[in-house]
Amino acid sequence: MTEKLHAPVIAWFDTHARDLPWRRPEAGPWGVMVSEFMLQQTPVSRVLPVYEQWLARWPRPADLAGEPPGEAVRAWGRLGYPRRALRLHGAALAITERHGGDVPTDHAQLLALPGIGEYTAAAVASFAYGQRHAVLDTNVRRVFARAVSGMQYPPNATTAAERHLARELLPEDERTAARWAAASMELGALVCTAKNEGCQRCPIAPQCAWRLAGKPEHEGPPRRGQTYAGTDRQVRGKLLAVLREAHTPVPQAALDRVWHEPVQRARALDGLVTDGLVEPLPGGLYRLPLT
């Protein structure tokens, strides 16, 4: 079963893979790591311009580590979930201090870096160093759920059963395993999408368990799309936008103007301070963090 999946998916990837900058040899392990942080919950189209600017400014971890964390938050722009910028800055510091400025090759050392979880460690080890690891993102989980388990969608959170299946499906050969990881992810991103899946273009449609079962509807809890308008996330984004544009401390009054509701605005600002994304100063001033 597994070999019947590997060959057609990898062959499809060889022909249809997008030419993305972090897949090019010149990206190096640091470029791969930056892309993995940025691509979490963010589409490729939004990541591309920020990624290019980031690597032009900070081509190595030591370059980023040498600047205040607030500069990482500023450069993150409107990618969303800006705590990722702080985590990436923390990882760059650790790489510089512990590994001589080179992204470590060892999976355990990657996992020990601040801000890096199981997925990112596996992705960097696989995509940057060609190692054999199960790389489970939302796209891969959806491909496996449909092709192997016969379900329209995977569970909301990754389960032990999914991890076991991913390891079972992993090719034995290291190079092939790394290619399979990238290919199955691309298949989920471009063909086996959450909505309007392109089964007619899928290289494994003839053996897809979900398609062969007649595409049964999802039976789990309803899958709700994330809302943004009016949420604390939106308010946090507006407050951070003011601070990113300013290169001197910002008075409270300037932040008060970005959102009409004072209780929600104060809660959002408090959350940014708690998360280390904003630094309060005496006199009611605020800035992006310097330490």
pLDDT digits (tens, 9 = 90+) for 162-215: 999 999 999 999 999 999 999 999 999 999 999 999 999 999 999 999 999 999
Average pLDDT across the chain, whole number: 95
User: 244 near 272, Cβ under 8 Å?
Assistant: no
Three-state secondary structure call for residue 287: strand
pLDDT digits (tens, 9 = 90+) for 113-132: 999 999 999 999 999 999 99
Number of other CB atoms surrounding residue 120 within 10 Å: 22
- Give CA 34 to chain center in angstroms: 9
CATH 1.10.340.30 fits 17-129, yes or no: yes
3-state secondary structure 84-146: HHHHHHHHHHHHHHHCCCCCCCCHHHHHCCCCCCHHHHHHHHHHHHCCCCCCCCHHHHHHHHH
Q: How far apart are CA 161 and CA 177, in angstroms?
A: 19
52 a catalytic residue: no
Q: At what angle do helices 174-190 and 138-147 cross, to 10 degrees?
A: 90
Which phi and psi angles does 281 have, rounded to 5°?
-125, 160
Which of 2, 85, 9 is closest to 50 using CA atoms? 85
Q: What is the dihedral of CA 64, 67, 70, 71, to 10 degrees?
A: -70
* pLDDT at 265 exceeding the cut of 90: yes
Supply the DSSP symbol for 155: -
Q: How far apart are CA 111 and CA 273, in angstroms?
A: 27
The single residue of 36, 71, 162, 186 carrying the catalytic annotation is: 36
One of 3.40.50.170, 1.10.287.1080, 1.20.140.10, 1.10.1670.10 is the CATH number of 138-213, namely 1.10.1670.10
User: 214 near 155, Cβ under 8 Å?
Assistant: no
pLDDT digits (tens, 9 = 90+) for 215-251: 999 887 766 666 778 899 999 999 999 999 998 999 9
Instruction: Report the pLDDT value the prediction gives residue 124, as an integer from 0 to 100.
Output: 98
Which of 238, 220, 242 is closest to 229 using CA atoms? 238
Distance (Å) of CA 272 to CA 29, 83, 276: 30, 9, 6
Instruction: Report the pLDDT value the prediction gives residue 225, as an integer from 0 to 100.
Output: 64
- Sorted by sequence, the CB contacts under 8 Å of residue 225 that are 6+ apart come out as none
Which of 6, 4, 2, 18 is closest to 176 using CA atoms? 6
Q: How far apart are CA 57 and CA 76, in angstroms?
A: 12
Supply the DSSP symbol for 157: S
Q: Where are the domains of the chain?
A: 17-129, 138-213, 232-287
The CATH number that domain 232-287 falls under is: 1.10.10.10
How sure is the predictor about 281, in pLDDT bands with cuts at 50, 70 and 90?
very high
pTM: 0.92
221's tokens: 């809890």
Angle at 160 between CA 154 and CA 161, to 5 degrees: 60
Instruction: Provide, rounded to the nearest whole percent, the portion of the chain with pLDDT above 70.
Output: 98
